Amino acid sequence: MRTIDIHAHMVPRSLWQAVAARRDWYGYRDHGGNGDRIIGNGQVTTFTSDKVRYTPEQRLADMDAQGTDVQVVSIHTPFAGYHLDADQGRALAREVNDEIAEMTRTWPTRFAGLATLPMQDVGAAIEELERALKLGLKGAELDTEVNGEQWDERKFMPFFKAAESMGAMLFFHPQPQNNFLRDRITRHGLVNSVGVILDDAIVTAILICGGVLEACPDIRICIAHGGGPACYGMGRLDRAWHARPDARTIPQPPSAYQKRLYYDTVTGSEEALRFLLDQVGAERVVLGSDWPFVPFEPSPGGWVRQMKSLTQAEKDKILWQNLEALLKL
């Protein structure tokens, strides 16, 4: 049985080279002197795993130890660089995407890739997505917002239309240390544990209620962390659609669109994953690990395999069949 992981982060090799040389990388720099904290745009990213420095060869050894056949690699979202000017954003994206593409060319049976894009310039983002697909990448990873702008803004619709026409997979992942909960409470680790999944739910609701899925019926989108509590809250979204004229911005209730999205398995518990499967079906759920930041026992794939509430057919779809077909691996 194969294991394909859609949710595997990377920190660019060129960033670590800049840290070693004590220079900036597109405005990001070491914050503290030992490389475990990076500051950029006034925000500090703290690394909880030394695996972020792994070479591809070390990464492969770790995948072998965990029984992961394929990782779909994407940048750690704090380094997407949306805050940069358009030229810098484009340069960062090209450098990162070239590095990911090199990994997929060198180990084509072990790595697939998702691009990062300069979303601060929609035209440049479309051009870079097209270039990345020609390099062999499978789509792009996106943050859950762009410099405070939401994905239902009209300016982003040409991007979604282009991604749909190109057949690109879009993987939405919030910044773990930069979400709206940070301005409300920073105690108890809630910014990461709860804030991240609330951002997942918000972007899911925006894509549905903002008409992106209605306008792009064939678009392929996956939401990280099982979509957070989005599917749990779908009944409330439906109730608003039926009861409030200002909420009826799409022709069908929101729940009619939830099965057009894909969701990964990083839900935190078997009970949450089972609920997700019951809501959207095993055809819409794919394996994720959040490598290297989330520990799984015994491994990301092993965590799914040992679940008693899942059928073998469901496990096969989640672990490899869905992604193999979606990404043509």
Averaged pLDDT of the chain: 95
Beta-sheet strand order (sheet of 139-142): 139-142, 169-172, 220-223, 262-264, 285-286
Is 184's pLDDT higher than 90? Answer: no
Percent of the chain residues topping a pLDDT of 90: 89
Cβ-proximal residues to 318 (8 Å cutoff; 6+ apart), any chain: 265, 282, 285, 286, 287, 304, 310
Is the pTM for the entire model greater than 0.85?
yes
pLDDT at 42: 87
With bands split at pLDDT 50, 70 and 90, how would you rate the model's confidence at 177?
Answer: confident
In the chain, where are the structural domains located? 4-11+50-326
Q: What is the mean pLDDT of residues 168-195?
A: 88
- Homologous superfamily (CATH) of 4-11+50-326 is Metal-dependent hydrolases (3.20.20.140)
With bands split at pLDDT 50, 70 and 90, how would you rate the model's confidence at 51?
Answer: very high
